[in-house]
Homo-oligomer: A and B are copies of this chain.
Amino acid sequence: MRRMTARPANAHQERVLKLLRDEGPRSRAELSGLIDLSRSKVAVEVDRLMSAGLLVVDGLAASRGGRRSHRIRLSPELRFLGVDIGATSVDVAVTNAELEVLGHLNEPIDVREGPVAVFEQVVVMAGKLKAAGLAESFDGAGVGIPGPVRFAEGVPVAPPIMPGWDGFPVRKALSQVLGCPVMVDNDVNLMALGERHAGVAKRVDDFLCVKIGTGIGCGIVVNGQVHRGASGSAGDIGHIQVDPDGHPCACGNRGCLEAHFSGAALARDALAAVESGHSTGALADRLAASGTLTAADVGAAANVGDAVALDLIRAGGDHVGHVIAGLVSFFNPSLVVLGGRVTGLGHGLLAAIRTQVYRRSLPLATGNLPIVLGDLGPVAGAIGAARLITDHLFSPA
């Protein structure tokens, strides 16, 4: 396998590469129509990209009446690494240049152990994927982290749940150990990019992607581009106030969304409910069995009809739905995608969120608004990470 050593030389080549990445193999004639460039010019640029090792011939296209033409595709030897770091686990995936996942690993981590420990583990995981024969080396890697990122430099900025990460040169450091170009972004932005590339938001240009996990964040896509904001913190909705007299939050304020609904808040409320004797069913059994409760326990208890668990999920959905209702009024998106581990809690959560949004936002903003779960599950962020680095590498230097 070979390393991607060349970048496209001009905007035409960029469009050819991105089109083949997003739409798969095409003939020269199809490319000419799709990027609105003459066939002779397309042929010239395709030849150059083939010489650079970025494109190959991929069999014959379907006949359009005349002689059957060859289809062009991105080199099947290109390999990208998508890394999605969460607060308590990390997903690492290898993709080809069409961003199909060839292999995927998920392992528990504690992001609070700091970047050095986390990246050692990521490199070991990448090594396992290589050892499985999925890649000899990587042409580029995208990395998502659960906090704000100064995007141009690839550096975390004051991430509240990540002591030791503030200002750590993630892009530079990982680029050295992996030996390939690296781009870094917030994990929620990458989930949005992933769902737009291959999931439920395919071809949608303006949408919100709300990730509910250990924390809560929102990816904002405007005109097909991620909106990162003036300091890279756009979408940081976990600290919007939902109750002025509510729970104290780690940020120092009271009643933040995250303090009322997130993986951690749910575990806390479930524990309190059992300890105060409000739950004598499945939740109490799970606490007795394991000595602790997690958001997953609440989900499992809800699945067997535990009333307290169902109530906790509904109350949480009301809080998230209340915030999303405001964002829908403000932003008027075409689509709202829900993702993250906590969305595994099931239909009660989705129903509560939908109820709040459809009741609270103006009819004009919700008339044609789907509110749906993401398609890609745990690999959404890793696919988005691969998309991020290919967006970079498939652009002129």
Contacts and interface: CB of A to CB of B under 8 A. Distances in A.
Interface of A: 148, 157-158, 160, 206, 218, 220, 222-223, 225, 227-237, 239-241, 251, 253, 322-323, 325-327, 329-334, 359-365, 367-369
B253 A229 contact: no
A260 to B, nearest CB: 14
Q: Identify which of A157, A220, A236, A333 gathers the most chain B CB atoms within 10 Å of its CB.
A: A236
18 contacts: A206-B227, A206-B229, A222-B222, A229-B331, A229-B365, A230-B334, A230-B368, A231-B332, A232-B332, A232-B364, A234-B331, A234-B332, A236-B364, A237-B326, A241-B322, A241-B326, A251-B362, A253-B360
Q: Identify which of A206, A229, A234, A241 gathers the most chain B CB atoms within 10 Å of its CB.
A: A229
By secondary structure, the A interface counts as loop
Contacts of A233: 329, 332, 362, 364-365
Nearest to A238: B329
A237 B364 contact: no
B241 A325 contact: yes
Q: Identify which of A220, A322, A362, A369 gathers the most chain B CB atoms within 10 Å of its CB.
A: A362
Nearest to A367: B231
The 3 closest A-B pairs by CB, nearest first: A229-B332, A234-B332, A230-B334
A135 to B, nearest CB: 36
A359 to B, nearest CB: 8
A364 B157 contact: yes
Given A223-B223, A332-B230, A240 B365 contact: no
Contacts of A225: 223
Contacts of A222: 222-223, 227
B326 A229 contact: no
Contacts of A363: 158
Contacts of A322: 241
A382 to B, nearest CB: 25
